[in-house]
Structure 1
Amino acid sequence: MLARTVGVVCAASLLTLALMGCQGSSDPPDDGANPSSPRPLRSPSGYGAVFLAVDECSSRGRTSFNEVPCSSERAVAKVVARYEGLPSNGPACPGTTDFVLHISENRPSSDENGDGAVAQGYACMRNLEAPHPGDAGGGGGPRTIVGDCVYSAGQGQVRETECDGSGERAPQYRVTKAVGTRSACPPSTSLYVTLGGAEPVGCAVRI
């Protein structure tokens, strides 16, 4: 029987605009509490006002993602949260995020009205159609949530895999509960998994 150890889950989705497959979780800071903290980016006037703002959509190419109207046949994913700054210092994406785009800063040398400037940040994306790897049991996404399954990857680490067994690796444990401390897990817990956020400990049972 495996010892109860904290596993570090990394859902590695190899997608680009410097896509991040792993993301730490933290609670959003209070507005104004820290001038350097990332802030949500929203588009006040709809498509195009802010690059990949909340509720805007993107297409997917071989090496890049482009903003397109959500009504476009090229649209494949929607922004569910958008923050400025580095993800390591910012709020975590929603639990059912399918993938995360890391957006590099772009400030053209010649820009008359400033519309071409894009601040560094990250967009939490949700596919418009299935599959949704960020859903519970989906085997991916930037966060591990209750209902996800994992397998032992060695050296005290675990990785997500599909709960239905359709992935490359068979599931060994399922996260059944998120709690604040290990002591709050039920006696049936076989493995502790790091989730982050307000309830950072995942209680997982062998399946």
Structure 2
Amino acid sequence: MAMPSQTPPPPARRKGGCLPALLILVVMLGLGYGASKVFDDKGSSSSSSSTAGGSGDKEASWNVGDCGGPDPDDRPDGYHAVDCGDSGATFKALAVMPASILPDAIQCPAGTDLIIQVKITFGSSSDKSGGLPSKTVCGRNLSATHPGDAGAGGGQLVKGDCITDTAQEIACTSAAGSGYKVLDLVKDAKSCPSGTTEPMRLTLAIGRPYDVICAAKA
């Protein structure tokens, strides 16, 4: 059920830039858990309604602020919706976004610790690896551990993160002197903010919401 990580081809070099022509972006990660997770929404083939599978079931029309946790019936990567006061709740929905079959097309907001793809199955199928994507839940841990925070060194690449000279994300606490700060992620280098010294143009990737990393020495 884990969505595959995407490593885009080498970006085009801007003359005068000092970053090597290699960019490694990890998108659609299981932020804080090691892989993208999947909810299995079981619906009826004759109805458009669905409910989130597993114990603690509730209507699967996910909203910001809803909570979820590990699904004991779908280990190790399955998650299901639970009440926020439930002892099994481990994350809260920071954002709810459309579904996509293109990993690069989903860009959750800063602070997202894990990304969950909600799938809907029809009839009585018990195959949780199948189903159609219905939405994407950007989750934030209820614990104090937040690898997806800007600068923390984990999760999707977002504004405020830091990278090495090979564009690998690192914690900003270890970036001083040798790393680069991500000032913005934009479609065109002309849109980079002032202070950008290393606009890194990426090779085209279908669905990715940005094509240039605006970076500067950390």
- TM-score tier, shorter chain, comes to 0.5 to 0.7
Mapping for residues 47-196 of structure 1, pairs under 5 Å: 48-50=58-60, 52-60=62-70, 62-86=76-100, 88=102, 92-109=107-124, 120-142=134-156, 144-153=157-166, 158-165=167-174, 172-178=179-185, 181-185=188-192, 186=194, 189-192=197-200
Identity of aligned residues (%): 24
- Normalised by the length of structure 2, the TM-score is 0.58
**Aligned to 1:129, what secondary structure does the other structure show?**
coil
- Normalised by the length of structure 1, the TM-score is 0.61
Following TM superposition, by how much is the alpha carbon of 1:98 offset from its aligned partner in structure 2, in angstroms? 1.6
- Cα distance in 1 between the residues matched to 2:35 and 2:185: 28
Contact 2:99 2:117 in 1 (8 A): no
Mapping for residues 194-205 of structure 1, pairs under 5 Å: 197=209, 201-205=212-216
- Cα distance in 1 between the residues matched to 2:121 and 2:63: 15
Which residue identity lines up with residue 116 of structure 2 in the other structure?
Answer: L
Which residue identity lines up with residue 115 of structure 2 in the other structure?
Answer: V
Contiguous gaps of at least 5 residues in structure 1: 20-40, 111-116
The CA deviation string for residues 55-108 of structure 1, in whole angstroms up to 9 with x for no partner, is 221113633212211011221101122245325396632233222112232223
Are 1:17 and 2:40 counterparts?
A: no
| RMSD (CA atoms) | 3.8
- Residue equivalent to 1:113: none
- Provide the aligned length of Structure 1 versus Structure 2: 166
- Residue equivalent to 2:205: none
Contiguous gaps of at least 5 residues in structure 2: 1-16, 40-49, 126-130, 203-207
Which residue identity lines up with residue 23 of structure 2 in the other structure?
Answer: G
